[in-house]
């Protein structure tokens, strides 16, 4: 990679600035009187909890270590941003790798340079070290870092407990119909298509955090797909199978049970991409009509796919295709590791420090339990998704993709659509999610929530925290929409449910799960979701 004149000048300036800051740090430390508190030369950024305990500032040695590290970290990050790259994906990959390097070398991650490790060892008379080693050995056995107290949760006992029945199943999915919570329900039901990368109960966590329970309590008949984690028997399945055997079969059963030809549908993350591609194929057919479409943190145009997209290149996809040809799945633990690396200072290193250096056990947290409960994808499905979406970005172009032998045109989807994105989402950047407005053929409503990919979407109405932006102008430009939007306090769920209610028809008597043709098979959450990879 050649560095031109302008870039060389910029790198030289960054070196000079780094050296100047180090010299200033030395002067500050040498002039510091014992016990004196001084303003740091390189303070941690807002929200950086790695150096927040008093030991880091009270000890001159550790105070110097953390500030020297922060100066160097800023220098490396700035250099990665300044280096020239003709390809935006390559530059994003360089910045990603630089951040992995910087995050891993933080002095907080090592026993010899972390004063919290020393304090915990002294206060526990060495017991914290023994506990840390035990935690490390246990996690090596699991093959992953513990992020929560997993003994506190069990699917079907503490999580995924909204009452319902599995009323249909095939080799790829089970379909759950939830029991009504009201005497009357909207005539048009709601089918939810969750991500097949993760288990569905992100939408049915503990009762106070459950999206499904909220929707049922609002007077809707709700159906949920529960995807099967791929094993050897599913290794050959591809995107077409998930459309035909997953989405289309679920729609067929929902229509047969409720006798409603045009149900409401909702897709979350890759579930939304899968759902939209299915509707685009089925649009010319009668089975393709729906009353409304909701997409939660979903990409249809992958031009702005964030850091996840920078990790997908021709070599990576070709390797995945070769592995898929040999029957290898994309393992859930591999996916979980990639997602965690995007936020290593939140999802990796705090647990390394807490679990192994300080000998602590992470607290119980339903969302992180779900995050650790990964699923496998068929290798063929994953390879097709990576090539056609992330690498070629073919879904946005009418007729470029064929699914089940039919051309895909998202513009054929003329149902009203509610598009939700999260402002701090690192998996589905909100600008990328906003681009769906220009692709869909019906009226669209865009809402931007606070926080990230999961915490932004799962924002319980009962707590009514954070805020969301809505009512921006109908424009293809995301920034123009943002400038004209209105911020409202509380959960976006309340806005969405009123939007859905207006498209769900009259009230009818509540429906019990199943019917004579589709009798209940087993109680929710069903067998598929309890399988561990």
Domain 164-331+374-530: CATH architecture, name and number where available: 3-Layer(aba) Sandwich (3.40)
Which long-range contacts does 280-284 make (Cβ < 8 Å, 24+ apart)?
280/408, 280/409, 280/410, 280/412, 280/413, 281/243, 281/403, 281/404, 281/406, 281/408, 282/248, 283/409, 283/412, 283/413, 283/414, 284/412
Using DSSP's 3-state secondary structure scheme, residue 259 falls into: coil
- Structure confidence by residue, pLDDT tens digits, 457-485: 999 988 888 899 999 999 999 999 999 99
Average pLDDT along the chain: 93
- Residue identified by tokens 């303070």 is 43
Give the per-residue pLDDT at 27.
92
Contact in structure between 525 and 201 (CB atoms under 8 Å): yes
Whether pLDDT at 275 is above 60: yes
Residues of the chain above pLDDT 90, percent? 78
DSSP for 102-123? HHHT-GGGSGGG-HHHHHHHHH
Residues of the chain above pLDDT 70, percent? 98
pLDDT mean over 36-49: 86
Give the per-residue pLDDT at 9.
80
Enumerate the CATH 3.40.50.1820 domain ranges in the chain, comma separated: 164-331+374-530
Residues 147 and 344: their CA atoms lie apart, in Å, by: 12
Selected residue with higher pLDDT from 426 and 300: 300
Q: State which of 74-88, 104-118, 331-345 shows the largest mean pLDDT.
A: 104-118
Give the per-residue pLDDT at 377.
94
Whether pLDDT at 2 is above 60: no
- Structure confidence by residue, pLDDT tens digits, 286-300: 666 899 999 999 999
Whether pLDDT at 30 is above 90: no
Residues 351 and 357: their CA atoms lie apart, in Å, by: 9
Residues 6+ apart with CB under 8 A from 497: 214, 215, 218, 461
Give the per-residue pLDDT at 533.
67
pLDDT bracket for residue 374 (50, 70, 90): confident
Whether pLDDT at 438 is above 70: yes
pLDDT mean over 347-369: 94
> Is this structure's pTM higher than 0.75?
yes
- Structure confidence by residue, pLDDT tens digits, 306-353: 888 888 889 999 999 999 999 889 988 888 888 889 889 999 999 999
Using DSSP's 3-state secondary structure scheme, residue 523 falls into: strand
- Structure confidence by residue, pLDDT tens digits, 129-177: 999 999 999 999 988 899 999 889 999 999 999 999 999 999 999 999 9
pLDDT bracket for residue 77 (50, 70, 90): very high
Contact in structure between 213 and 222 (CB atoms under 8 Å): no
- Structure confidence by residue, pLDDT tens digits, 495-509: 999 999 999 999 999
pLDDT bracket for residue 10 (50, 70, 90): confident
Q: Give strand ranges (E) for 91-221.
A: 164-169, 173-178, 184-186, 190-193
Residues 251 and 293: their CA atoms lie apart, in Å, by: 13
Give the per-residue pLDDT at 3.
55
Whether pLDDT at 1 is above 60: no
Containing 271, the helix (H) or strand (E) segment is helix 270-282
264 phi, psi to nearest 5 deg: -85, 150
User: 451: phi > 0 → left, psi -120 to 50 → alpha, else beta; which?
Assistant: left
Rounded alpha-carbon distances, angstroms, from residue 517 to 149, 192, 258, 264, 520: 42, 21, 12, 22, 10
ω into residue 375 within 30 of 0, thus cis? no
Give the per-residue pLDDT at 287.
61
What number of CA atoms fall less than 13 Å from residue 438's CA on the CB side?
Answer: 14
pLDDT mean over 14-38: 88
Report the catalytic residues: 269
Give the per-residue pLDDT at 4.
56
Q: Could you tell me the end-to-end alpha-carbon distance of the chain, in angstroms, rounded to an integer?
A: 42
pLDDT mean over 97-125: 96
């Amino acid at each position: 990679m050649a560095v031109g004149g302008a870039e060389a000048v910029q790198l030289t300036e960054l070196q000079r600035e780094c050296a100047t800051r180090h010299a200033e740090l030395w002067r500050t430390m040498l002039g510091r009187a014992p016990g004196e508190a001084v303003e740091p030369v390189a303070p941690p950024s807002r929200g950086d909890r790695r150096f927040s305990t008093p030991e880091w500032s009270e000890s001159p040695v550790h105070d110097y270590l953390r500030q020297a590290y922060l100066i160097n970290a800023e220098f490396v990050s700035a250099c990665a941003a300044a280096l020239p790259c003709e390809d935006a994906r390559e530059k994003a990959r360089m910045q990603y790798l630089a951040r992995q390097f910087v995050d891993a070398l933080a002095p907080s991650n090592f026993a010899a340079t972390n004063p919290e490790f020393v304090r915990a060892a002294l206060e526990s008379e060495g017991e914290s070290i023994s506990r840390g080693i035990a935690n490390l050995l246990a996690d090596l056995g699991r093959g992953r870092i513990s992020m929560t107290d997993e003994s506190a949760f069990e699917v079907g006992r503490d999580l995924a407990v909204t009452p319902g029945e599995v009323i249909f199943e095939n080799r790829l999915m089970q379909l759950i119909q939830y029991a009504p919570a009201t005497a009357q329900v909207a005539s048009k039901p709601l089918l939810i298509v969750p991500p097949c990368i993760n288990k569905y109960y992100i939408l049915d966590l503990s009762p106070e955090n459950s999206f499904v329970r909220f929707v049922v309590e609002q007077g809707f008949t709700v159906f949920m797909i529960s995807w099967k984690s791929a094993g050897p028997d599913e290794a050959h399945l591809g995107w077409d199978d998930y459309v035909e055997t997953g989405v289309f079969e679920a729609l067929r059963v929902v229509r047969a049970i409720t006798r409603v030809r045009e149900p409401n549908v909702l897709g979350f993350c890759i579930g939304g991409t899968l759902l939209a591609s299915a509707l685009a194929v089925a649009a010319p057919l009668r089975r393709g009509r729906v009353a409304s479409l909701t997409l939660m943190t979903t990409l249809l145009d992958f031009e702005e796919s964030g850091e996840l997209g920078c990790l997908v290149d021709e070599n990576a996809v070709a390797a995945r295709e070769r592995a898929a040809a040999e029957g290898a799945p994309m393992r859930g633990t591999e996916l979980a590791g990639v997602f965690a690396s995007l936020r290593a200072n939140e999802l990796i290193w705090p647990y390394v420090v807490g679990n192994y250096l300080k000998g602590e056990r992470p607290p119980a947290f339903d969302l992180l339990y779900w995050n650790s409960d990964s699923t496998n994808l068929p290798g063929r499905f994953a390879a097709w998704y990576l090539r056609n979406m992330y690498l070629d970005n073919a879904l946005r172009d009418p007729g470029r993709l064929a699914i089940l032998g039919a051309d895909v045109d998202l513009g054929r989807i003329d149902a009203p659509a509610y598009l939700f994105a999260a402002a701090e989402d690192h998996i589905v950047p909100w600008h990328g999610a906003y681009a769906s407005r220009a692709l869909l053929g019906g009226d669209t409503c865009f809402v931007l929530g606070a926080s990230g990919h999961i915490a932004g979407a799962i924002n319980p109405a009962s707590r009514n925290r954070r805020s969301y932006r809505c009512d921006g102008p109908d424009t293809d430009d995301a920034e123009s929409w943002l400038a004209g939007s209105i911020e409202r306090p509380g959960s976006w769920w309340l806005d969405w449910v009123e939007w859905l209610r207006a498209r769900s028809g009259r009230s009818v008597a509540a429906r019990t799960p199943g019917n004579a043709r589709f009798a209940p098979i087993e109680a929710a959450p069903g067998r598929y979701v309890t399988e561990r990879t």
